[in-house]
């Protein structure tokens, strides 16, 4: 559930963070660090993840070398990890709600930019694998283009300057404590969608804390609302699946109590979110199955369309 501080002003522009906010970079970073740490006889400790979230590459490298007492310099560590990270940019997935938000802001004519602690070249490489992203942002500011990275407000102030808007008219969407601090220091409204839920308390200085981008309600800040809600349910992007399942009254009937069949590759799986209960709905040519799971704050719709 989101926590909303009293609304003090409306905004006209949006500035987005990239890693952990739009892209699920954390999983790639962790996998690379596990490999590198293993070479030094060390094991990745997830409890220390907050030490690198939202930091510049140099700061993150310094934290890892220090926390794990690695017998190498920061420069040596970065020379090893940088190409490993670069090779994985193509595998980074968009976080839930990221594509929806970008499409929404663009279609409604809301000016929005991107401001990240990552170097500009890294930013461009990452977003190049996501259709339409590069052309959607009014401006892109990398950590290497300003004097100080987050939690300094420099990247956000530079983004506002390039968009020719007063910082007070900007909404920042962030996932980390340094990012939240930077946005507030810039005098902007800040919404936090923490990438590390266990450390969500570190983002309490934000004007609003939400679980994910799917919980964002732009109208709270004077921006156009999403128009894809259907009866308090949010349709999410389709999953395409296909392949054989047990036919007739085999395992399908024993487990589910129904006959099953063949799902073609163009089957689409849709999900939706609302606020009452979770249920799964499967629909094929001759199959209608509804399984209900009681959950306090979320409902998921899953439809397999033959």
Q: Which residues are catalytic?
A: 17, 19
Asked if 303 and 283 count as a contact pair (C-beta separation under 8 A), the reply is: yes
Q: Within 13 A of 254's CA, how many CA atoms are on the CB side?
A: 4
Question: Please, what is the Cα angle at 196 between 194 and 197, to 5 degrees?
Answer: 75
Give the separation between CA 102 and CA 84, rounded to whole angstroms. 28
| 241 Cβ neighbours under 8 A, 6+ residues apart | 263, 265, 267, 269, 304
For the chain, the farthest-separated pair of C-alpha atoms sits apart, in whole angstroms, at 67
Give the separation between CA 103 and CA 174, rounded to whole angstroms. 18
Give the separation between CA 128 and CA 89, rounded to whole angstroms. 9
Sign of CA dihedral 273, 279, 282, 288: negative
Q: Which residues pair with 288 in a beta bridge?
A: 283
How far is CA 172 from each of CA 5, 32, 167, 232, rounded to the nearest angstrom? Answer: 15, 29, 10, 26
For 163-188, the DSSP string reads HT--GGGEEEEESSHHHHHHHHHTT-
Answer whether the bond into residue 151 is a cis peptide, omega within 30°: yes
- Look up residue 212 and give its DSSP letter: S
- Look up residue 92 and give its DSSP letter: P
- E-strand spans in 53-178? 112-115, 140-141, 170-174
Helix (H, G, I), strand (E, B) or coil at 70: coil
């Amino acid at each position: 559930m989101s926590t909303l501080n009293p609304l003090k002003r409306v905004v006209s522009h949006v500035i987005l963070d990239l890693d952990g906010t739009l892209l699920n970079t954390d999983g790639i970073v962790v996998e690379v660090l596990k490999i590198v740490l293993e070479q030094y006889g060390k094991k990745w400790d997830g409890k220390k993840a907050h030490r690198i979230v939202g930091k510049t590459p140099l700061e993150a490298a310094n934290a890892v070398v220090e926390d794990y007492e690695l017998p190498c310099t920061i420069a040596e560590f970065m020379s090893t990890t940088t190409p490993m990270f670069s090779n994985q940019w193509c595998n980074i997935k968009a976080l839930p709600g990221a594509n929806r938000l970008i499409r929404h802001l663009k279609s409604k004519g809301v000016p929005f930019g991107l401001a990240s602690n990552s170097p500009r070249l890294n930013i461009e490489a990452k977003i190049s694998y996501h259709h339409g992203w590069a052309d959607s942002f009014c401006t892109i500011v990398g950590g290497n283009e300003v004097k100080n990275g987050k939690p300094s407000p420099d990247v956000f102030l530079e983004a506002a300057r390039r968009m020719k808007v007063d910082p007070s008219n900007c909404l920042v969407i962030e996932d980390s404590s340094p990012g939240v601090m930077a946005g507030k220091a810039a005098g902007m409204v800040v919404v936090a969608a923490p990438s590390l839920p266990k450390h969500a308390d570190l983002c309490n200085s934000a004007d609003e804390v939400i679980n994910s981008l799917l919980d964002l309600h732009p109208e709270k800040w004077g921006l156009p609302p999403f128009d894809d809600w259907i009866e308090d349910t949010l349709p999410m992007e389709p999953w395409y699946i296909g392949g054989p399942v047990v036919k007739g009254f085999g395992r399908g009937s024993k487990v589910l109590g129904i006959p099953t069949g063949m799902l073609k590759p163009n089957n689409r799986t849709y999900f939706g979110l609302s606020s009452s209960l979770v249920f799964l709905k499967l629909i094929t040519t001759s199959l209608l199955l509804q399984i209900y799971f009681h959950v306090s704050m979320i409902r998921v719709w899953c439809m397999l369309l033959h």
